[in-house]
Amino acid sequence: MKQVTCRLLASVATAAVLSSPALAVDLKIGHGHTESHSFHLAMEKMAELLEEKAPGAFDVEIFANAQLGSEREMQEQLTLGTLELTVTGVLGVYEPKLALLELPFLFRDRDHVRAAQDSEAVASLVATLPPKGLRLIGFVENGFRNITNNATAVTAPSDVDGLKIRTPENQAQIETFKALGAQPTPMPFSELYAALRQGVVDGQENPLQNIYDGKLFEVQKHLAMTGHIYNSAYIVVSESFYQGLSDDDRAALDAAAVEAGNWQMQMLADKDSELLGKLKEAGMEVTEPEKAAFLDATAPAYDVFYSQYGEDAKAFVEAVKGM
């Protein structure tokens, strides 16, 4: 009788384990902007989509304002497996050729951008990331970048000559501003406001959402709508975390990242004119330079990449331009 009872209890315990729901996987997401920034809103959207596609599978926590470190530091955490996911603009640290996507005046419009993001050319480019501990699973929009400064209204490339301009730690932006005769000064976005306020740099270049959300209008007078570079940011996951997921959870994560990115890009497209109006209301003096002159002036940036990466870089750029 005792043996029967033990077997019965063991059977009940096994059935309880099999029927109980699996524990949710912790998914920490870090980024460097505020809770009102579109990157944060996109990550909230992604969390909603994950719950729809894989109910109860993920326990998502989002850390804004560079709480977990700079973009570079959070990327390093992904490779170590101490952070699961980040939104970053400096993925070129791990694949320098990604800077080709940010060459000046490469893209005509957002439809052109989407075609490139979905292309085999870009898929081949980012295939180098998983062996380095990261995986690109989606894009969000940073936007078309514009120049601000406190020295002068920018109406022509010559107006940028000699200005000390903060750029991201990204070779495409650095080479673009070298071509314009400026002094590019790379630094993290989290340090930018203080650097502008203290006069460490004369100006910077960013999409409208970053200029507004970062309150750069408080420390910058002139805004030039150059649109010189279209800038994506990347939704990147730790490869060790990704490989530890079930097939169904990986599929849900991939789909949620793509859908959240598309949602965010459309939201920003709808907000462009609103953001520009708010910056004008905040006191910024806005100019709209002739872009053809900037296109010609920044052409040497392409030659730097062609000499560095050879015919592969030229073939990649031609493929993107032809889409």
Q: Per-residue DSSP letters for 92-106? A: GGT-GGGGGGGSTT-
Structural domains in the chain, CATH included, are: 25-321 (3.40.190.170)
Structure tokens at 320: 């993107």
Separation of alpha carbons 96 and 174, rounded Å: 13
Spatial contact of 223 and 284, defined as CB atoms under 8 Å apart: yes
Spatial contact of 49 and 256, defined as CB atoms under 8 Å apart: yes
Q: Per-residue DSSP letters for 200-221? A: SSSEEEE-HHHHHHTTGGGT--
Separation of alpha carbons 104 and 173, rounded Å: 8
Structure tokens at 58: 């993920």
User: pLDDT, tens digit, for every residue of 241-273?
Assistant: 999 999 999 999 999 999 999 999 999 999 999
Strands 222-224 and 285-287: parallel
Strands 183-186 and 164-167: parallel
For 274, counting Cβ atoms within 10 Å of its Cβ (0-12 exposed, 13-18 middle, 19+ buried), the class is: exposed
Beta-bridged to residue 134, according to DSSP, are 238
Spatial contact of 71 and 233, defined as CB atoms under 8 Å apart: no
Structure tokens at 89: 């603009």
Separation of alpha carbons 120 and 99, rounded Å: 17
pLDDT at 236: 98
Q: What angle do CA 63, 198, 172 make, to 5 degrees?
A: 65
Separation of alpha carbons 45 and 31, rounded Å: 15
Closest CA to 272 of 126, 137, 145: 145
List the pLDDT tens digit at each of the 323 positions of the chain: 444 444 444 444 444 444 445 799 999 999 999 999 999 999 999 999 999 999 999 999 999 999 999 999 999 999 999 999 999 988 989 999 998 999 999 999 999 999 999 999 999 999 999 999 999 999 999 899 999 999 999 999 999 999 999 998 888 899 999 999 999 999 988 899 999 999 999 999 999 999 999 999 999 999 999 999 999 999 999 999 999 999 999 999 999 999 999 999 999 999 999 999 999 999 999 999 999 999 999 999 999 999 999 999 999 999 999 99
What DSSP element (H or E) covers 305? helix 300-309
Sign of the torsion angle spanned by Cα atoms 263, 267, 270, 276? negative
pLDDT at 99: 87
Site of tokens 């673009």: 176
Separation of alpha carbons 294 and 220, rounded Å: 21
For 243, counting Cβ atoms within 10 Å of its Cβ (0-12 exposed, 13-18 middle, 19+ buried), the class is: exposed
Backbone angles phi, psi at 206, to 5 degrees: -160, 160
Structure tokens at 21: 């729901």
Q: CB neighbours of 170 closer than 8 A, spacing ≥ 6?
A: 89, 90, 92, 99, 102, 186
